[in-house]
Structure 1
Amino acid sequence: MVTAVPSGIDDVTPQWLSEVLGAPVADVRVEQIAMDSGFSSWLYRAHLSGDSGAPDSVIVKLPARSEAGQAMGFMGGYAREVAFYRDVACRAPLGTPHVYLAEMAEDMADFVLVLEDLRHWDNADHLAGLSLERARCAIAELAGLHAWSTDPARAGTLDAFPSINSPVTHDMLPAAFDMGWRAYRERASAPVPPAVARYAEQFAELAPQAIEALAQRRMLLHGDIRADNMFFSGEELKIVDFQMSAWGGGALDVGYLASQGLPTEVRSGHDEKLVREYLETLSDRGVDDYSFDEAWRHYRFAVAYFIVLPTMPLLSWDSMPERSQHLCMRLVDRAVATIDEIDAMEVFG
């Protein structure tokens, strides 16, 4: 039995891993990975040698000792992810890595995940974006999670996750949006459509309305369904990173994914069809009370609101890696195009 959550990667020893995996590990060699994207957590690939019962490698996820890590801990992101991998991943019809361990320290200061290493799978590139086929695959997986979570027998499981309507999403992010938007406008390569520019100028006042609407349903959401949180092997998909999991209207995940995970030229003209396909999958899984009008309204609110996520990091432009700069600018470009094309501003009363 594992007796302690490691306080750092140095505590991830062969003995500790032997306890976790239930197989002798003679030696472990670790390398840090995803250093240009994992700001709130640190990811390590642990290469193992020993008994044939242990895998060749596993992924170890630990909290980052940084301001981003402190913020994620404050928002409860670490506790959410541990709860997801411990209580949901092994039960919900959603492809995820095999979970060897998901534990939170008693003082809630540290956590650890030991997960299947998906290094031989194809990790989608968020900068390049998804194909329409891969987006449909992801939406079908999300629909499975959303439908599973609506069963009244799982109400207790959902209690471990907050509403999407939190002080952070309702007040803090909208209040800080303006400075990030200014940074985007200074560097944008194309003019912003006038209607989207007017919306952005009123974001702090309008965003709470979107969040309140998106919290009217109680479905378990991924909450940060980025392309680079997806790993493909043929037609099979596994999804990672559940630190932003919350409950709300399922079309939120669909809108966020389509508006930022798909290149504009791939997504354009397919928004309504993607929502209808999502609802068909929900219906096949027993959820038939989510009308198109309601889901389309949630989709448009989500597209309009989640422009905030790639905009906020632009405040730290000078300290961002070049790839991160390009990524955030491209994601905002995609969000702007989607907001304009589907006239997302119309849903704000």
Structure 2
Amino acid sequence: MAARTEGTRSSGSPAFDMLKASLRYGAHCLRERVAPPRAKVAGDVPVNGRQITREWLTAVLCADRPGAAVESFTVEDATSGTSSRLRLRLTYNEAGREAALPDVLFAKTTAKFTQRMMLGLGNTIEGEPGFFAHLRNGVDIEAPRGYHGAADQASGRSIVLMEDLVATKGATFCTPRTTVTRPQAEDLVANMATWHARYWESPELTEHASWLKMPSVHFRTLDRLIQLRKRAEVGAKRAGAVIPGDLRGTSFDRVYAAFAASVNAADKGPLTVLHGDGHIGNTYTTAAGRMGFADWQITMRGSWAFDYTYTVTSALAVDDRRAWEKDLLGFYLDRLSAAGVKAPDFDAAWDAYRCQTLYPYLIWLYTIGRGALQPQMQPSETCLAVIERTANAVVDLASLDAIGDGTGVAPPRTGD
């Protein structure tokens, strides 16, 4: 798979960066609406079906297959959220068919202004192209294959072409209403342990450090540019009915300081590749019964506990998580050890797990507390279901006491 990124980042004030980005992205969106560009060469970055052409698909999919070419294609199932999503069905010439090139693809793009503001200003636009270009093929996990990715920081345009899991594996994507059984939970954490072990303290983390951000860097960027703290506090009010009373009555200053400390702790080694957004909605079940992870937009590097805790606390019903969490953690650690990693001992791992519940709780408060410029990333009922699960984990595991507020400094308040 090829990946391309271009552009530079600003270091101005938050308000100035927001203004510059809104003008720049707005101008590009307007220009594209008035005169839609047609992608013809591999370096172009189309963002919708009208811009994709047979020539461009041939350039990005057939470059290493002599004589192969895309003869025709159709675009289906356009949906929109944090990104715009398309399904492409392709036909090839004889050389392309003989090369067994994919005839159904899933595309993710930043077609909309709000998507470009969210991913561009958050510096996450390169995450999924980078994962598929540099990391995916290095590990045998249940996750989609990638075929092409490109991002342009200046315009906020991006596209990833990947395996259509519904077509190739009969995948069903999970929601908080999906019942995750004990064997399925073990499959999820075993899958995670596989890529964590593969990249455990790997030199490749440094090699790709320009786009494999640390958790604290990523979320300070969000707080600086889109008022993470303020939106999360709004979310706590909107979700109050599903938050346990002990946590609901706790000062939000204390909760946010603990969140900041937990994110700082997630920067500490041993480091590995993080999915970064491994909640239940980004998992799927194949027709063969395997559990996998999709949507690698926020791929990062950091502590294993960041990923592990996010998946376990969002995927499992509260009672199941309470009943299984110690056994599941032991199972995960055993899988790390079996892969040749010097895994943490159980007590240290348990403490790390307790400390990392704050991120999944806060980020879903932020999601339901979104402002006008933030796209609706998840339906409210999904947000409330995950908040209820993660909030109960914060309380059950006494996470505020476990992390405290002395291991990091809360990101500055913005927009107050």
TM range (shorter): 0.7 to 0.9
Q: 1:94 touches 1:144 (CA, 8 Å); kept in 2? A: yes
Aligned to 2:172: 123
Instruction: Using the TM superposition, name which of 339-348 and 240-249 deviates more.
Output: 339-348
> In the alignment, is residue 14 of structure 1 matched against residue 54 of structure 2?
yes
Aligned to 1:91: 138
* CA distance in structure 2 between the aligned counterparts of 1:209 and 1:323, rounded to whole angstroms: 26
How far residue 18 of structure 1 moved from its aligned partner, in angstroms, is: 2.1
> In the alignment, is residue 273 of structure 1 matched against residue 315 of structure 2?
no
Spell out, residue by residue over 1:215-264, the C-alpha distance to the aligned partner (whole angstroms, 9 max, x if none).
11221110101223223322434422112111111021111111112222
Instruction: Using the TM superposition, name which of 172-181 and 43-52 deviates more.
Output: 172-181
Taking structure 1 as reference, are residues 107 and 291 closer, same or farther at Cα in structure 2, changes over 3 Å only? same
Name the SS for the 1:307 alignment partner.
helix
Greater C-alpha Rg: 2
* CA distance in structure 2 between the aligned counterparts of 1:163 and 1:78, rounded to whole angstroms: 15
Instruction: Using the TM superposition, name which of 286-295 and 326-335 deviates more.
Output: 286-295
Q: How does 1:138-217 map to 2 (within 5 A)?
A: 138-159=188-209, 160-166=211-217, 167-168=220-221, 172-185=227-240, 188=241, 192-195=244-247, 197-198=249-250, 200=252, 202-217=254-269
Instruction: Using the TM superposition, name which of 65-74 and 162-171 deviates more.
Output: 162-171
Aligned to 1:221: 274
Q: 2:45 touches 2:150 (CA, 8 Å); kept in 1? A: no
Spell out, residue by residue over 1:176-232, the C-alpha distance to the aligned partner (whole angstroms, 9 max, x if none).
4212101111xx2x5623256316552222221111112112211101012232233
> In the alignment, is residue 135 of structure 1 matched against residue 174 of structure 2?
no
Aligned to 2:407: none
* CA distance in structure 2 between the aligned counterparts of 1:55 and 1:268, rounded to whole angstroms: 42
Q: 2:115 touches 2:375 (CA, 8 Å); kept in 1? A: no
* CA distance in structure 1 between the aligned counterparts of 2:330 and 2:290, rounded to whole angstroms: 22
Q: 1:255 touches 1:299 (CA, 8 Å); kept in 2? A: yes
- Number of aligned positions between the proteins: 343
Q: 2:205 touches 2:273 (CA, 8 Å); kept in 1? A: no
Aligned to 2:338: 284
Identity %: 19
Name the SS for the 2:215 alignment partner.
coil
How far residue 145 of structure 1 moved from its aligned partner, in angstroms, is: 1.2
Q: Counterpart amino acid of 1:279?
A: L
> Which structure 2 residue ranges, 5 or more long, are not aligned?
3-40, 63-67, 405-416
Spell out, residue by residue over 1:287-324, the C-alpha distance to the aligned partner (whole angstroms, 9 max, x if none).
21422233222211221232012211322599998981
Aligned to 2:19: none
Q: CA RMSD in A?
A: 2.7
Candidates 324, 328, 343, aligned match of 2:398: 343
TM-score normalised according to structure 2 size? 0.75
Q: Counterpart amino acid of 1:27?
A: S
Candidates 90, 110, 119, aligned match of 1:63: 110
Spell out, residue by residue over 1:130-180, the C-alpha distance to the aligned partner (whole angstroms, 9 max, x if none).
333222111111111111112544243441301111213677533542121
Name the SS for the 2:213 alignment partner.
coil
Taking structure 1 as reference, are residues 330 and 320 closer, same or farther at Cα in structure 2, changes over 3 Å only? farther
Q: Counterpart amino acid of 1:297?
A: D
* CA distance in structure 2 between the aligned counterparts of 1:123 and 1:288, rounded to whole angstroms: 34
Taking structure 1 as reference, are residues 228 and 81 closer, same or farther at Cα in structure 2, changes over 3 Å only? same
Aligned to 2:44: 5
Aligned to 1:308: 362
Taking structure 1 as reference, are residues 170 and 316 closer, same or farther at Cα in structure 2, changes over 3 Å only? closer
Q: Counterpart amino acid of 1:202?
A: R
